């Protein structure tokens, strides 16, 4: 890979180089979300398993990558040296320190994607070299079954090529939309946290049926299938939920009686407040990044100083 001072190759050669380069996909962090994205890319044929390299400090999560046929390492820098397209999937509070660690290895050919909640593009760009191509993705857990709902936002140096490439890859894991970064935290509240909200509702539906005499396993299966079927109708027909709800209701029937009870319990307002609370928490996390960020200028200056010293030492040896 070239350094930041290297001249860019032109035209078709540069496009071909980038097209082949991203075929090696790296993951810094090997948790559930990294596994879900890797699994989606592999199953959709977007990348070969042997061309995926994942890093983590221990083997606890890496074993799942090995089971898929992927390469693994304990070195984050090895991922940067080996792959042009790199997903950063560490815990949010760990990511700043990881970026400071790998920043010296970042080149103009890298496409860097963060899936860490609450870490803004401006924070990512502060921690990386100038002109780094950075994008931010907000996934959710259903990516593990290739039914995720994802949004992505691009940094100042990421263009349409990078955005289109990332979107085409992530569509192997579900639905992916490009949005302004201000909407990423809203997505976290709606869809990231929303998985738990939907599970709570599914559980409540099933427990209502259990109370009325249905076996537990059957009740939970039917509740989950009801949610799945309803979601498919909404997506495939493009209907507003209110229209589908109206279609189900008949005058004096069972559904309107049940809906009346939900309205009395404040279901709609409670769900709206839950999304609002989760979104506000995501924004709070974005406004209060890790203390590592405050140390970035001095850390990067030290790293650059070490690089300059190593270059001078190498030049002296070469001349002697």
Give just the sign of the alpha carbon dihedral 294, 184, 137, 181. negative
User: By C-alpha distance, which of 144, 71, 160, 41 is closest to 111?
Assistant: 160
91 assigned ligand-binding residue: yes
Cβ(55)–Cβ(25) under 8 Å? no
Contacts of 149 (CB under 8 A, 6+ apart): 140, 142, 174, 175, 187, 191
Annotation-wise, does 279 bind a ligand?
A: no
57 among annotated binding-site residues = no
251 among the known binding-site residues?
no
Counting Cα atoms < 13 Å in the Cβ hemisphere of 53 gives 20
Token pair listed for 193? 């946290």
Taking the C-alpha atoms of residue 152 and residue 181, their distance in angstroms, rounded to an integer, is 8
Q: Which one, of 151, 164, 114, lies nearest residue 136 by Cα?
A: 114
76 annotated to bind ligand: yes
Question: Three-state secondary structure along 46-85?
Answer: CCCHHHEEEECCCHHHHHHHHHCCCEEECCHHHHHHHCCE
Q: Which residues are annotated as a binding site for NADPH?
A: 76
Q: Which residues are annotated as a binding site?
A: 76, 89-92
Q: Which residues are annotated as a binding site for NADP(+)?
A: 89-92
């Amino acid at each position: 890979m070239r350094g930041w001072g290297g001249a860019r190759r032109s035209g078709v050669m540069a496009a071909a180089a980038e097209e082949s380069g991203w075929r090696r996909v790296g993951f810094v962090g090997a948790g559930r979300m990294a596994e879900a994205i890797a699994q989606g890319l592999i199953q959709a044929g977007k990348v070969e398993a042997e061309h995926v390299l994942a890093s983590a400090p221990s083997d606890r999560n890496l074993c799942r990558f090995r089971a898929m046929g992927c390469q693994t390492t304990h070195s984050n820098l090895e991922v940067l040296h080996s792959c042009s397209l790199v997903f950063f999937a560490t815990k949010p509070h760990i990511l700043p320190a990881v970026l400071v660690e790998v920043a010296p290895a970042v080149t103009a050919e890298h496409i860097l994607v963060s899936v860490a909640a609450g870490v803004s593009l401006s924070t990512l760009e502060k921690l990386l070299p100038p002109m780094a191509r950075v994008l931010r993705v907000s996934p959710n857990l259903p990516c593990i079954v290739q039914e995720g709902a994802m949004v992505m936002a691009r940094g100042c140096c990421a263009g349409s090529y990078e955005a289109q490439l990332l979107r085409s890859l992530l569509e192997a894991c579900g639905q992916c939309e490009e949005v302004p970064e201000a909407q990423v935290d809203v997505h976290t509240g709606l869809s990231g946290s929303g998985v738990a909200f939907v599970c709570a509702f599914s559980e409540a539906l099933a427990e209502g049926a259990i109370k009325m005499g249905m076996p537990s396993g059957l009740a939970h299966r039917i509740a989950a299938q009801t949610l799945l079927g309803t979601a498919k109708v909404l997506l495939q027909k493009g209907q507003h939920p209110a229209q589908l709800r109206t279609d189900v209701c008949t005058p004096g029937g069972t559904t309107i009686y049940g809906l009346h009870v939900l309205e009395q319990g404040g279901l709609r307002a409670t769900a709206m407040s839950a999304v609002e609370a989760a979104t506000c928490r995501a924004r709070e996390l974005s406004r209060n990044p890790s203390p590592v960020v405050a140390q970035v200028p001095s850390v990067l200056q030290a790293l650059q100083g070490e690089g300059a010293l190593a270059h001078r030492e190498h030049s002296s040896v070469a001349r002697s």
